[in-house]
Structure 1
């Protein structure tokens, strides 16, 4: 059984009952096909003895819930928390609930698989097969059926036992510290703050552009992002990545030039030409020394290929020592990219905790490596 919370009185009563919980499990249902920000449609929440679905479409003021959620004295347990936290960051005026525990990340450091889905994790740990019949539900439609609500509440019902089992295994293996940085990042509001001046870096296909063209792309992408934010619509509805790339590459200086770009209608050009051409002009005016550039990657020569082989061997040894698949820590491609970019560290998450210091010492020549009893030994 679970409670369905659809008014402020029920919400206040629920929060009172949950107030002494040391931890809660949390999930959301949302849609975002037609909006820039996800539209929150349902909140599922549970403690050791309480289960509830909160209907944000029926409750006029969610602020009391957001204030309660942001209280730091209780742990919030989620699976694949990023999108849920993005929602609360937007609704909460830039605040993010903390502290957090992400069961997907926890499962990864226990060697259960990278980016493991919730249903697979529940089946692996609890032997429970979750109903998937409502996975395509339109959560904005009301009323929600019993089947829909049962499907939704399962996301927090079983998460309680999953959390306790993962926590037990992490404590047993001494791996809780591995999770500190990933969880801190998930709790950092900056993780969910969009900077229009950096969104150009996520435009697909930008590798074909030269630095001056990248400066133009930066202006165009920032304009598109700001417009999408203002209108609360998907950025692709403003202009597609392909059109941005063509504008940056062709650098038209008139509406006639814009008409040479495939995918732009006369109506779009009439509405947007002035702003697009201004973006292009600003990008053209950026001094060459200040133009953005992509990370320089150098092709590995024979010597660096040997170095990559060495790091791969060390990686395999570390993975074997911790009972984790080496592929979960890093692929050969990721190691080569690290070397191509001149880095000595892999990442700032739990994977980096395992290998960053080792890689840095090896690549700086501060250690020597030998084989003993068929094992690779690193000595300072």
Structure 2
């Protein structure tokens, strides 16, 4: 049984019943196909003895819930929390309901699977097969059927036992501290704050551009982001990545130049030409030494390929010692990229916590790698 919360009075009563909980499980259902920000449609929440679906489309003022969620004494447990936190960051004026525990991340550090889906994790830990028949639901439509609500509530119902199981295993293996950094990042508002001046870095295909063209792309991508945010529509509805790349590459200086770009209609050019051409001009005005630069990568030569082989052996040994698949810590491609970029550390998450120090020590000669009894041994 679960409660359906669709009035302010019911919400107040629910928060009172949940107030003593030391931890809660939390999930959301949302749609974002036609908006810049995800549109929150349903909130599922549970404690050890409470199960409820909250309907934010029916409750005019959700601020009491958002304020309650901010209580730092209460742990919030989610699976694959990033998108849920993006929603609460937006609704909560930049606040994140910390502290957090992400069961997907916890499963990874326990060697259960990287980026493991919720249904698979529930099956692996609890032996429960979840119904997937409502996965394509339009959560903005009302009324929601009983089947839809049962599907939704399962996302927090079983998450309680998943959390308890993972927490027990983490404590037993001494890996709880591995999660501190990734959970801190999830709870950092900066993780969800979009800087229009850096969104160019996520434009697909930018590797074909030269530095001056990247400066133009930066201006165009920032303009698109600000316009999408203002109108609350998907950025692709403003201009596609392909058109941004063509503008940056071709550097048009007139409406006639814009007409040479495939995919732009005369109507679009009439509306946007002045702003687009201004972006191009600003990008061209950036001094060459101030233009954006893509990370420099050097192709591995034969000797560096041997170094990659050495790090692969070290990685496999660290993985074996910790009972984790080496592929979950890093792939060969990731090791090669690290070397190509001149880095000695892998990442700043739990994977890096496992291997960063040993990689640095091996690459700087502080540690030697030997084989003893058919085992890789690190010696200082």
Q: TM class, shorter-chain normalised?
A: over 0.9
Give unpaired runs (5+ residues) of structure 1: none
- TM-score, length of structure 1 as denominator length: 1.00
**Residues 1:361 and 2:339 are matched in the alignment:** no
Aligned to 1:127: 127
CA distance in 2, matches of 1:25, 1:369: 45
1:258 has 2:258 as partner: yes
Q: C-alpha separation between the residues in 1 aligned to 2:223 and 2:179?
A: 37
Instruction: Name 1:92's counterpart in structure 2.
Output: 92
Cα shift at 1:376: 1.1
User: What is the aligned partner in structure 2 of residue 160 from structure 1?
Assistant: 160
Secondary structure of 2:53's partner? strand
Deviation track 1:224-252 (CA, whole Å, cap 9, x = no partner) reads 00000000000000000000000000000
Partner of 1:377: 377
After TM superposition, give the deviation of residue 367 of structure 1 in Å.
Answer: 1.3
Could you tell me how far apart the structure 1 residues matched to 2:141 and 2:202 are? 33
- CA drift of 1:159 comes to 0.2
SS for the counterpart of 1:294 is coil
What is the CA deviation profile of residues 320-371 of structure 1, one whole-angstrom value per residue up to 9, with x for unaligned ones?
Answer: 1111100000000000000000000000000001000000111111112211
Alpha-carbon distance between aligned partners in 2 of 1:107 and 1:266, rounded to the nearest angstrom: 52
Corresponding residue for 1:230? 230
Q: Which residue of 2 aligns with 1:304?
A: 304
Q: How far, CA to CA, are the matches of 1:222 and 1:89 in structure 2?
A: 21
Report the CA distance between 1:44 and its aligned residue: 0.1
| Partner Cα distance (1:160, 1:55) in 2 | 21
Cα distance, 1:178 vs structure 2: 0.6
- Counterparts of 2:40 and 2:283 in 1: how far apart (Å)? 37
What's the RMSD between the two structures over aligned residues? 0.4
> Which runs of structure 2 are paired with 1:143-292 in the superposition (5 Å)?
143-292=143-292
Identify the residue that residue 345 of structure 2 maps to in structure 1. 345
Alignment of 1:43 with 2:43, yes or no, is yes
Query: What SS does structure 2 have at the residue aligned with 1:28?
Result: strand
Aligned residues: 380
Partners in 2 of 1:317 and 1:151 — Cα distance?
A: 42
SS of aligned partner of 2:283? helix
Q: CA deviation at 1:77?
A: 0.2
Where has structure 1 moved over 3 Å in runs of 4 or more?
A: none
With the length of structure 2 as denominator, give the TM-score of the two structures: 1.00
Cα deviation, 1:239-287, whole Å, max 9, x if unaligned, reads: 0000000000000000000000000000000000000000000000000
2:336 aligned with 1:325 = no
Write the distance in 2 (CA, Å) between the matches of 1:65 and 1:237.
Answer: 33
